[in-house]
Amino acid sequence: MVFALAASAGLTVANIYYGQPMLGLMEREISGTAITYVPTATQLGYAAGLLLLVPLGDLLERKRLIVMQCLALSVALALVALAPTGATVLAASLLVGLLASVAQQIVPLAANLAPEDKRGAVVGTVMAGLLCGILLSRTLAGFVGGTFGWRAMFWLAVPLALLTAGLMAWQLPRSRPVSGGLGYLGLMSSLRDLWREFPALRLATLTQCTQFGVFSVFWTILALHLQEPRYGLGSEAAGLFGVLGAAGVLAAPIAGRIADRRGPHPVIVAASALTLVSWLVFGFWTSLIGLIVGVLLLDFAIQASQISNQSIIYALRPEARSRINTVYMASMFFAGSASSGAATVAWHNWGWTGVVVLGTAIAALGLGLQTLRR
């Protein structure tokens, strides 16, 4: 079941990243700068899904909710593949992001099913699957888009979403809602109460907002950066960086085990410092080798921080894990969407130098938050 949960989390979250390595291809077919905001639209949709749909995991039977959301996701992916204009691509991408938030129904479900003393390791394994989906989606999209065109990738994603629905229908046990009698509006109102009640939730959320922000800055601009004359590389090369970044997946189960044994805070501090180092590498080591080293450091640090922060928040109130996850992940993806948009503006106005300055500033803010906590 852990494998099924990990695979499904990866297959669903992958849908919001297919467009990133194919931005150059999409720009050549659909004119106008609007198409460069596809990563922003999908992340904004994902954040909206986290805020509006994920709390339903505490209100409705989770198995049915997950299966239905996967089926709807397959329809949204077909709409992207059929979209004729930049505006319709953006609208369909927003819908894909909204429905792909089903990945964050799966993670708290794994925490609920895991024994107390192994929760960090189980969540780490499921998150490793989710992170493989995030990173290897770019590799798959870069290859398929470069060979068959960008629309082919979204057509391929349709049966993958249907496969995920079937896997979850087969493997998941039925669950009982734990909303404590709250309706949907009550659940939404309780998000504010949870934010106010738990300082640990606020710190974990704000820290991971900075971590995911710099992650989004890098991956939003990478394909455009690699097309510059100094590299002259296309979507396939941008996709291959996903394979390199997948090394960061190793950090997820390791960080989960360390959090189970020694506590998560030392891991978070070290990861925040390593994220800042990765952006200094991007700024001062401008060769292709520098990009490779930087992305290895960046992905490893962000995944270690993610798992450690999640081990903190999932222990706060077990019966409200979906809502706590909503506060945490929705904030994170709103920050990622804003950072992605800011990165696009920085790229158009100041090039790679502006992007590096932006990423370094956000990373420094994250390390500062952890320093203030101590």
Q: If the chain, 374 residues long, is cut into consecutive pieces of 10 residues, what is the mean pLDDT of each piece?
A: 90 91 84 79 89 82 91 96 90 95 86 74 81 83 90 96 94 73 79 92 95 92 88 80 71 68 83 94 92 90 85 83 84 88 92 96 94 72
pLDDT of residue 51: 86
pLDDT of residue 233: 85
Domain that includes residue 85, residue range:
2-373
pLDDT of residue 181: 65
Task: Write down how long the chain is.
Answer: 374
Residues with Cβ < 8 Å from 201, sequence gap 6 or more?
Answer: 194, 195, 312, 313, 316, 324, 327, 328
pLDDT of residue 323: 83
**Which CATH number goes with the domain that contains 353?**
1.20.1250.20
d(CA 204, CA 63): 28
pLDDT of residue 180: 59
pLDDT of residue 201: 94
Q: What is the DSSP letter of 249?
A: G
Alpha helices, H only, the chain: 2-13, 23-29, 38-52, 62-82, 86-100, 103-113, 119-148, 150-171, 184-197, 199-226, 235-245, 251-262, 265-284, 288-313, 321-373
- If one counts the domains in the chain, the total is 1
pLDDT of residue 273: 94
pLDDT of residue 212: 92
CA neighbor of 314 nearest in space, from 181, 43, 179, 118: 118
